Amino acid sequence: MQNQMFEKEKFIQEIKDNVKNLYRKTLEEASQQEVYQAVSQAVKEVIIDQWLATQKTMEKEDPKMVYYMSMEFLMGRALGNNLINLTAYKEVKEALEEIGFDLNVIEDEEPDPALGNGGLGRLAACFMESLSTLGYPAYGCGIRYRYGLFRQKIENGFQVEVPDNWLKDGYPFEMRRPEHTFQVKFGGYVRSEGDPSGKTRFIHEGYQTVRAVPYDMPVVGYNNNMVNALIAWDAEPEEYFELDAFDKGDYKKAVEQENLAKNLVEVLYPNDNHIQGKELRLKQQYFFVSASVQRAVARYKKYHTDLHKLPDKVAIQLNDTHPTVAVAELMRILLDEENMEWDEAWTITTRTCAYTNHTIMSEALEKWPIEIFSRLLPRVYQIIEEINRRFILDIEKKFPGDYNKVKKMAIIFDGQVKMAHLAIAAGCSVNGVARLHTEILKNQELHEFYQMFPEKFNNKTNGITQRRFLYHGNPLLAEWVNKYIGNDWVTNLSHLEKLAVYADDEKAQQEFMNIKYQNKLRLAEYIRKHNGIEINPRSIFDVQVKRLHEYKRQLLNILHVMYLYNKIKEHPEMEFYPRTFIFGAKAAAGYRIAKLTIKLINSVADVINNDASIGGKIKVVFIEDYKVSIAEQIFAASDVSEQISTASKEASGTGNMKFMLNGAVTLGTMDGANVEIVEEVGEENAFIFGMSSQEVIDHEQKRDYDPMQIFNNDQDIRQVLMQLINGMYSRNDPELFRPLYNSLLNTQDTQYADTYFILKDFRSYAEVQSRVEKAYRDEKGWAKMAMLNTAHSGKFTSDRTIQQYVDDIWHLDKIKVETPK
Ligand code: NBX
Mean pLDDT of the chain: 96
* Burial call 163-178: b when 16+ CB within 10 Å, e when fewer: ebebeeeebbbbeeee
Task: Provide the 3-class DSSP secondary structure of residue 579.
Answer: strand
pLDDT per position as a tens digit, 220-237: 999 999 999 999 999 999
pLDDT per position as a tens digit, 268-301: 999 888 888 899 999 999 999 999 999 999 999 9
The residue whose CB lies within 8 Å of the most ligand 1 atoms, and thus the one to mutate among 273, 280, 433, 546, is 273
- Predicted local confidence at residue 751, as pLDDT: 66
Query: For residue 709, how far is its CA from the centre of ligand 1 (angstroms)?
Result: 33
Is the distance from the beta carbon of residue 653 to the nearest atom of ligand 1 less than 6 Å?
yes
Is the distance from the beta carbon of residue 238 to the nearest atom of ligand 1 less than 6 Å?
no
Q: Long-range contacts: 7-10, Cβ < 8 Å, 24+?
A: 8/91, 8/94, 8/95, 8/98
Strand arrangement, sheet containing 579-584: 618-623, 579-584, 540-545, 640-643, 665-668, 687-688
Name which residue sits closest to atom 12 of ligand 1, judged by CA. 120
- Predicted local confidence at residue 435, as pLDDT: 98
The residue whose CB lies within 8 Å of the most ligand 1 atoms, and thus the one to mutate among 278, 281, 358, is 358
Number of CB atoms found within 10 A of residue 445's CB: 19
Is the distance from the beta carbon of residue 271 to the nearest atom of ligand 1 less than 6 Å?
yes
Which CATH number applies to 483-703+756-796? 3.40.50.2000
Query: For residue 361, how far is its CA from the centre of ligand 1 (angstroms)?
Result: 10
* Burial call 329-353: b when 16+ CB within 10 Å, e when fewer: bbbbbbbbeeebeeeebbebbbbbb
Q: Give span(s): CATH 3.40.50.2000, the chain.
A: 63-77+112-145+155-462+804-810, 483-703+756-796
The ligand 1 atom nearest the CA atom of 361: 4
Query: For residue 552, how far is its CA from the centre of ligand 1 (angstroms)?
Result: 12
What is the pLDDT averaged over residues 174-200?
A: 94
- Predicted local confidence at residue 296, as pLDDT: 98
Q: Strands 353-356 and 227-237: what pairing?
A: unpaired
Is the distance from the beta carbon of residue 120 to the nearest atom of ligand 1 less than 6 Å?
yes
> 496 burial class (0-12, 13-18, 19+ CB within 10 angstroms)?
buried
Residue 605 has pLDDT above 80, yes or no: yes
The answer to whether 143 and 287 have CB atoms below 8 angstroms apart is yes
| d(C-alpha 418, C-alpha 414), whole Å | 10
Query: For residue 3, how far is its CA from the centre of ligand 1 (angstroms)?
Result: 39
Is the distance from the beta carbon of residue 473 to the nearest atom of ligand 1 less than 6 Å?
no
The residue whose CB lies within 8 Å of the most ligand 1 atoms, and thus the one to mutate among 272, 433, 460, 675, is 272
The residue whose CB lies within 8 Å of the most ligand 1 atoms, and thus the one to mutate among 71, 120, 445, is 120
Residue 140 DSSP code: E
Lowest mean pLDDT among 196-205, 313-322, 645-654: 196-205
Report residue 1's pLDDT band, with 50, 70 and 90 as the boundaries. very low
pLDDT per position as a tens digit, 68-80: 999 999 999 999 9
Residue 38 has pLDDT above 90, yes or no: yes
Q: Strands 687-688 and 665-668: what pairing?
A: parallel
- Predicted local confidence at residue 5, as pLDDT: 77
Query: For residue 271, how far is its CA from the centre of ligand 1 (angstroms)?
Result: 9
Is the distance from the beta carbon of residue 230 to the nearest atom of ligand 1 less than 6 Å?
no
Is the distance from the beta carbon of residue 657 to the nearest atom of ligand 1 less than 6 Å?
no
- Domain 63-77+112-145+155-462+804-810 class, CATH top level: alpha beta
pLDDT per position as a tens digit, 731-790: 999 999 999 999 999 866 566 899 999 999 999 999 999 999 999 999 999 999 999 999
Is the distance from the beta carbon of residue 356 to the nearest atom of ligand 1 less than 6 Å?
no
Lowest mean pLDDT among 2-16, 462-476, 606-620, 625-639: 2-16
Is the distance from the beta carbon of residue 645 to the nearest atom of ligand 1 less than 6 Å?
no
Catalytic residue numbers read 358, 546-547, 552, 654, 658
Is the distance from the beta carbon of residue 433 to the nearest atom of ligand 1 less than 6 Å?
yes
